[in-house]
Structure 1
Amino acid sequence: MKPAPANLANRLRGLWPARGRRALPLAALLLGLAVVDVHVPLTRPRVEAVVVLDITQSMDVADVQLDGRTVSRLALAKAALHEALGALPCGSRVGLGVFTEHRSVLLLTPLEVCEHLQELRGTLARVDGRMAWSGNSEVSKGFNGALRLVRALPQRPALVFVTDGHEAPPLNPRYRPPMDVEPGQDAGWLIGVGGLQLAPIPRSDPEGRPLGTWGAQEVAQVDPYSRGRGGSVQGEQMVEEAGGAAPPPDLGATPGREHLSSLREPYLRRLAQETGLRYARLQSAGQMLPLLRDPALAQPQRHAESLRPVLALLALALLALRHGRRARAAG
């Protein structure tokens, strides 16, 4: 039978006279340790990721929703990352990169989100199509390059690659560069963004000024290999040459309509499956945070945790109990 609360309180108060005499030196010891700022080593999971944003012109297609407004794919991706950066727990580290042509370029190595929130958000705000140096959008090569990029960083962060999957020029389903796969070694998300219906692709000059939309005669409608190209980059093997595998299904190309764009979701799912990453579709700004906080992206991080707040509170509690006991005795 458990003692009643009143009886338990009386028992604890009965113990106090014997221990109360030691309260003052114990409180002094705790305060001294708090002043010294004692730390204990702990290990806890921490988000460590690099987010790479597609900045090719198809990402300027306005076919997604943000706060009830129709905005571009890139605008939704940036808004989602902006919101997530402010909500990640301190200690999380996020880097930022961009993809255009066939390359992914790192803008910021992973930075601690609380200490460097202004720098992260400031850099993100300046990301747009004016940073692109080419009109091509070779997604598989850019994604492959992003995987290599994060592998080269000291902590090997997870990769979050955000794109609509629109290959320009289109790929032949029989001939495509192989992915640089390291089974079980890569973590992250391949995130698709965009509407499922074909829409015109905005055209702009190098300063970002709108020039209408791309026409059918201005865009490559079939892959270069089908036009008679003998190979890809000199010395580069193609998939069927490397393994003799059967040709994969269509990769989302739309011959005759390549000047229009939609989210190439089946193609992105295939890329994710081939590299061991997971696929998700971004449809709202709030979706980015849970993806970044996915436990699969976290890395164990050893750190020193300060005991100062706990020690100070314990010392104050002891002093308060001692003072209260003496006050009641005097009264």
Structure 2
Amino acid sequence: MNEYEEISKETRKKVSKLTLEQQKDLLDLFSEVIKELAKKAEKSKSKSLNERWTLDYIKELERVKKELTKELNKSTRGFITKAARVGTETEQQIMFKMFKYAGIDPGEHFTEMFSQVQDKVVKDIINGNLYKDNKTLSSRIWNYGQEFEKDIQYVINRAILEKKSAIELAKDLEKYIKDPAKRGSDWGKCYPHLRNKKVDYNAMRLARTSINHAYQNSSIQSSNMNPFTEGIKWHSAMIHGRTCELCIERAITDQFGLGIGIFPIDQVPLDHPNGLCTMIPYIPKPLDTVTDELRNWLDGENNSILDKWYNEYGDYFAFKKL
């Protein structure tokens, strides 16, 4: 593994950590909402769930659903922004190391070049520009909020059919937030439609996918800013039973004649939902060769690739081409 790959793998670990943090955050959000609904039911002390009680309770459900949707949106946007920032770190670290070895101080505005990438990636995901259906992040989260509301209404309706009390309903709602295997068989018999369904699965799936796409797109777009990056290497996790055939194929085939698993920067595909693949900048020249080219170019040697790069991004650097 070369220095470039080592930096990329360490960056990917940060994305995995972000994903775990996001999952806990979402689970906490759903837990709070369920607890609030359970507490509302428990306070009624009703022995049976009559029509009037149900109508009042549906109003409460609508209120908490709106609050849940708002918090899901806020949380997901926050983690997408963090993931986009992490996605640019690979190229930032690689380029900084190149400049350092070449004896070049890139200046304090160097990181601003990557901030624009982060902002664009986040905006594209929020506005739905990355996807064929063009659905915004807010609309996707709203749909999951609607699903949650329908699930709770289903629990209420089934509880009515089973002639349960409000207190019994409250206990059933508290079980719903648990892992399906820990709810108990009686719960599954009463609510067969939700027997194996996780309350937060769809929201977590969206969050994991959005985080991964933010990281990967930032990695891809920031690679355009490194004049020595000639493509993107697709690195699959290769976890048995977890890595799909498509991702394996992308990692082990030479589709464009650049090398095994290497894509042109403008033709890197999006990873699928819940993906674990890593995007590694493909820089065929070793670090010592790169630093020599940089030094020679600054000393006046012709280099059309670096000239083109400097014309596009030179304003972000403190050093001047001779």
TM-score bracket, shorter-length normalisation: under 0.3
State the TM-score, normalized to the length of structure 2: 0.24
State the TM-score, normalized to the length of structure 1: 0.23
Q: Which structure: greater strand fraction?
A: 1
Larger C-alpha radius of gyration, 1 or 2?
1
